[in-house]
Structure 1
């Protein structure tokens, strides 16, 4: 199973995008591959998939610092849609920082540049963080207790 939640293995799902062997045809594929890139700390890919308008606001070092600080455990794609200019993906990305579970809930906006979808920006929705106890179910939805999985 891929980090992004698809049933295909990472090698067939997101890795070809991250390694530049193919290009996402839809913004959802790009969003999922960016999530997998955070999981695998492929920060160059994340930087390179920002739209040219916003890319200069980010650095590989900043992206890496965040990716090393947290452990992404689950991705839930809520909705995708589009208009004449953009595609949108609303998702929830759950991550652990120690025993603190946080959720990044965003409606991302993607733009096509030179035939490729790129992340432009997004609207964040507030989500409460919570502490995960040793005997709680793991937030990755493995069915195991937290202490036996990501704890």
Structure 2
């Protein structure tokens, strides 16, 4: 199957690697892409695992996220900008747009996400939603 984060690449050589071993994620952008794919695939356990421990959603929030992720049709991910977030950094940001269809209407999440290494691996901290 094609990877949800990039239809030009197979899932098996892209986000599946991160989903199988989160420690293999080398950059903040790679983590962002793997999180988008996890939303598409409703892989909520991975979303929890890739969230920083200080901002990780509760079990009730996790159920809501899963229900919503399954209720929409994901269309595409567009990476707009990255700052830092390389293998040698400890923090980074990724600005993206994630397009989806909900109740026959197109929606978009436009966010500048913050990432930070925790215990040597990339994690999602939070994001600032943009209009």
Structure-1-length-normalised TM-score: 0.77
Whole-angstrom CA distance in 2 between matches of 1:57 and 1:107: 22
* Structure with higher RCO (Cα < 8 A, 6+ apart): 2
Match of 2:106 in 1: 101
TM-superposed CA distance for 1:22, in Å, is 5.2
Whole-angstrom CA distance in 2 between matches of 1:68 and 1:24: 25
Q: 1:86 aligns with which of 86, 91, 115?
A: 91
- Map 1:1-151; keep pairs closer than 5 Å: 1-5=2-6, 7-20=8-21, 23-57=24-58, 59-82=61-84, 85-126=90-131
Which structure shows the bigger proportion of residues in helix conformation?
Answer: 2
Whole-angstrom CA distance in 1 between matches of 2:122 and 2:96: 17
Question: 1:41, 1:68 within 8 Å by CA — same for their partners in 2?
Answer: yes
Structure-2-length-normalised TM-score: 0.88
Match of 1:138 in 2: none
Question: 1:88, 1:109 within 8 Å by CA — same for their partners in 2?
Answer: yes
Which structure shows the bigger proportion of residues in strand conformation?
Answer: 2
Q: Which runs of 5+ in 1 are unaligned?
A: 127-151
RMSD: 1.8
- Greater radius of gyration (CA): 1
Question: 1:74, 1:93 within 8 Å by CA — same for their partners in 2?
Answer: yes
**Cα shift readout 1:12-32 (whole Å, capped 9, x = no counterpart):** 100111122752100000000
